[in-house]
């Protein structure tokens, strides 16, 4: 089990179950707490390993939740993948199913519409905190900070596809090597 005992795996699974319920806007919005738990609290990864794991998984084809599997793999191999993925997918899937059924029956209820509208600023805040955590390894580099700020401005003010912004970031990163 890559050095983790059953108690640590159960803790990993439980923590990712909690994050599953808090993952408003997708699992990526909980990356700051994943970083706190995996890097800061347990020391199972470094900041650079965490950021690289997220970047690799986000660049790979497929669902963006793959970064959770990468974190689990790094921490405990196959057992870690099973613990993190079961934890992050289980509760949120059950909750989405139940809320979806409820929402279809009460789509016009003002309380439900207000509740749904309230999630937009929450999701934005969670995404901003994720961006802050993921830029930690390069925040000392002024060019990286400018690239991040430029990406945010372009995303907010234009309809440029995020894929072009990612490609530009990859070119800048490659040239900086």
Which tens digit of pLDDT belongs to each residue from 121-141? Answer: 877 777 777 778 877 777 788
Q: Averaged over 77-82, what is the pLDDT? A: 95
**Both 38 and 113 in a single domain?**
yes
Let me know if residue 1 belongs to a domain: no
Residue 173 has pLDDT above 60, yes or no: yes
Let me know if residue 174 belongs to a domain: yes
**Both 96 and 176 in a single domain?**
no
**Into how many domains does the chain fold?**
2
Q: Find the domain containing 123 and state its range.
A: 6-139
Q: What is the pLDDT of residue 89?
A: 94
Calpha distance 44→64 (Å, rounded): 22
What predicted TM-score, i.e. pTM, was given to this entire model?
0.66
**Both 132 and 148 in a single domain?**
no
**Both 69 and 106 in a single domain?**
yes
């Amino acid at each position: 089990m890559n050095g983790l005992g059953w108690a640590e795996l159960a803790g990993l699974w439980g923590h990712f179950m909690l994050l599953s319920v808090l993952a408003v806007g997708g699992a990526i919005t909980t990356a700051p707490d994943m970083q706190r738990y995996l890097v800061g609290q347990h020391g199972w990864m470094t900041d650079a390993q965490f950021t690289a794991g997220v970047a690799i998984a986000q660049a790979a084809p497929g669902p963006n939740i793959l970064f959770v599997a990468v974190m689990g793999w790094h921490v405990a191999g196959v057992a870690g993948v099973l613990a993190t993925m079961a934890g992050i997918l289980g509760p949120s899937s059950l909750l989405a199913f139940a809320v979806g059924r409820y929402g279809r029956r009460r789509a016009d209820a003002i309380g439900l519409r207000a509740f749904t509208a309230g999630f937009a600023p929450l999701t934005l805040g969670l995404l901003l905190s994720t961006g802050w955590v993921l830029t930690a390894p390069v925040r000392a580099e002024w060019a990286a900070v400018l690239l991040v700020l430029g990406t945010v401005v372009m995303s907010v003010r234009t309809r440029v596809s995020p894929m072009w912004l990612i490609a530009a970031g990859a070119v800048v990163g490659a040239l900086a090597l």
